[in-house]
Chains A and B, each alone.
Chain A
Amino acid sequence: MAENQSLDPRILGQRISEARKSRGKTQEEVAEFLGYSRPTYIAIEKGERTAKPDEIIKLASFFGRKVNELVRPGEPVTDLQPQLRAVADKMKTGDQFQAGLNAAIDQLQALAEDYQELERIMGAPHRPSYPPEVVLNLKLDPAEQAEVVANQERNRLGLGDQPVIELRSTLEWDVGLRIFYTTDLPSSIAGMYAHSAELGACILINRNHPPERRRVSMLHEYGHFLLSTDRYKPGIDYLTMPGRKPGNERFAEAFALCFLMPATSVRQKFHDIVATTGDFQVADLCRMKHFYFVSLEAMTLRVEQLGLIPKGTWESLKESKFAPRKAEAMLGLPSHPVADEIVPERYKYLAVHAYERGKLGDSDLAHYLRCDIATARETVARTLTSREVEPSGEERAVTMNFDRSLLGDTR
């Protein structure tokens, strides 16, 4: 049987090597599985010998991968997985924890590669708008520097000091971060960050956490990305870090809170409430928490930090077993829209557009969107349909043609 002409032995070898490492197998073990000598197997990984079809099928099964994952064309993203795995290996954890981390790292790698593939298929290159790196002054308080940087970043993005409800979209469309969600991360991990030469900044967030917490986690990772010391350094972040935190962690933590709750805005809101009602009560705190779309803990600590309420208020609320969700419901505060899909919005649009153009099939689309075929088709229908109101007041569904040009002939 002639060698499959559609395969590049070097790329195939790289993908086989990555799948082997991800599965935790040695070259010796794989060679033994195939019944070959180690040098023969190494020649496959190096691309000096093209694996035969039956070998590829056997290897895919041995590594727990799909065949298409091993033979997909295009250069693999080579720097995300090894960098993050090196960080994960240094974390002193149990087997189950490590397995969860590794699964999440594999997922980030696969999602990032799929994102790049969609951009290639659609001829829509990634054009990020990254801010300059921040050099942390070790003689100054990192939290104070974070406050300044958060305000600068808000101004750069034209956000003023209003709450940013659609945070994930803002960071994706306006900054160019690639933010994915996963349910594979262990519960004590908030998220992870890595920078790839091909893909730029990639963030993976723990979807099992409440939306308010995910917003803090996204900005925490973004805080690391801003720092000159951390931009090109992969990191995996716990929900809470035990012991004294280093400067970069304190910066990232404070940046998240300052970005979500700008000091001028919080002070203004607080003083408006006190001026109107003559008091500041737990219900007001709940309304502010809802306004900024943060957790009650984050809101209380921020108001405490700004010196507007006594220190220790959060501790006493916690001891009283205060239930913020119940309080929000009692106050009739509506739920915020929550973007909790695994893939980012731009990624989803690219996939749907590629499907509409016939470049992806139904099964491909389900793969890219990480869902079943019926849900993938439903996503297409939802993405291409806009609800419009007729002059009569009746609602009408308008189906959009993504490929229709809207530029005039005179341009």
Chain B
Amino acid sequence: MIDACCLIDLLASGQAEAILRATGYGWHLPSVVQAEVQYVREHDPDNPGSYRNVPVALTPFVGSGVLTPCQPDDPREQDRYIHYATLFRSDGEAMCLALAECRGWTVATDDRKAILVAQQAGLSVISCPELVKAWADATRPDATSLDQVLSDIRSFAQFRPNQTMKEASWWMSRVKGT
């Protein structure tokens, strides 16, 4: 299960599909998350030093089987969705946590509050640094390519790992070295 925050961070890397595949998990995309992930930033060729938003196409990810759409289907899932919707101002976070809870899935999120709420609910959580590290370990990219991925996530998604995230220190040590 992946939320909008984490998906935006991975999309910013330009290697989202490879990273998701490298984890070995089957990834599910809640219907409302799909609607929340609309744009990703990239360098603006017309204005050096600035960014532009480009629309995200998730259909190829779904078509290739990397992401499988899902939504709350039974009354218990719908009940938990409503419960989590009272805690967040994003339906995507609410649906992710509800489905992860009811289906026993791991939730991939970089959202500070979602991580906290998921942990309190006893859910298994994974974040961007751990996913990127798994990809790096599995595919062994050269140092330049790996640093480019971290740099792109940092600049296009403005992501900075939280100290409590697994592999945050690995991430920070690599970023400091560049």
Interface residues of A (CB under 8 A from B): 1-2, 4, 6-7, 52-54, 56-57, 66-68, 71-73, 355, 358-364, 366-368, 372-375, 377-378, 381
Contacts and interface: CB of A to CB of B under 8 A. Distances in A.
A374 B88 contact: no
Contacts of A374: 8, 12, 41, 156-158
A363 B92 contact: yes
B113 A6 contact: no
Nearest to A56: B82
A359 B113 contact: yes
Nearest to A367: B89
Interface string B147-162: 0000000001111100
A6 B110 CA distance: 25
Main secondary structure of the interface of A (DSSP, over half): helix
Given A358-B112, A364-B90, A373 B79 contact: no
Given A361-B112, A363-B36, A1 B89 contact: no
Main secondary structure of the interface of B (DSSP, over half): helix
A317 B85 CA distance: 57
A372 B157 CA distance: 10
Given A53-B78, A54-B78, A361 B85 contact: no
Contact of B5 (A360, A363, A375): A363
A71 B8 contact: no
Given A68-B94, A367-B90, A373 B8 contact: yes
B82 A4 contact: yes
Nearest to A377: B158
B90 A363 contact: yes
A290 B113 CA distance: 45
Interface of B: 3-5, 8, 12, 36, 38-39, 41, 53, 72, 75-76, 78-79, 81-83, 85-86, 88-94, 110-116, 156-160
B82 A355 contact: no
Contacts of A68: 85-86, 88-91, 94
28 contacts: A7-B82, A53-B79, A53-B82, A54-B75, A56-B82, A57-B72, A67-B81, A67-B82, A67-B91, A68-B88, A71-B82, A71-B86, A355-B112, A358-B113, A358-B116, A360-B113, A361-B5, A362-B110, A362-B113, A363-B3, A363-B4, A363-B93, A364-B90, A367-B89, A368-B89, A373-B4, A374-B156, A374-B158
A364 B41 contact: no
Given A6-B86, A71-B86, A373-B8, A361 B111 contact: yes
B34 to A, nearest CB: 14
Contacts of B76: 1
Contacts of B93: 361, 363
B147 to A, nearest CB: 20
In the A-B complex, the 5 residue pairs with the closest CB atoms: A361-B113, A363-B90, A377-B158, A53-B78, A361-B111
Given A373-B4, A374-B156, A66 B91 contact: yes
Contact of B85 (A1, A71, A362, A367): A71
Contacts of A53: 75, 78-79, 81-82
A119 to B, nearest CB: 15
Contacts of B94: 67-68
A1 B79 contact: yes
Given A57-B81, A363-B5, 20 more contacts: A4-B79, A53-B82, A67-B82, A68-B86, A68-B88, A68-B91, A71-B85, A73-B86, A358-B113, A360-B89, A361-B115, A363-B36, A363-B114, A364-B90, A367-B89, A372-B38, A372-B39, A373-B158, A374-B12, A374-B156
A361 B114 contact: yes
A360 B88 CA distance: 8
A106 to B, nearest CB: 16
A372 B85 contact: no
A377 B159 contact: yes
B111 A363 contact: yes
B88 A6 contact: no
A56 B89 CA distance: 16
Given A67-B94, A374-B157, A377-B158, A362 B5 contact: yes
Contacts of B111: 361-364
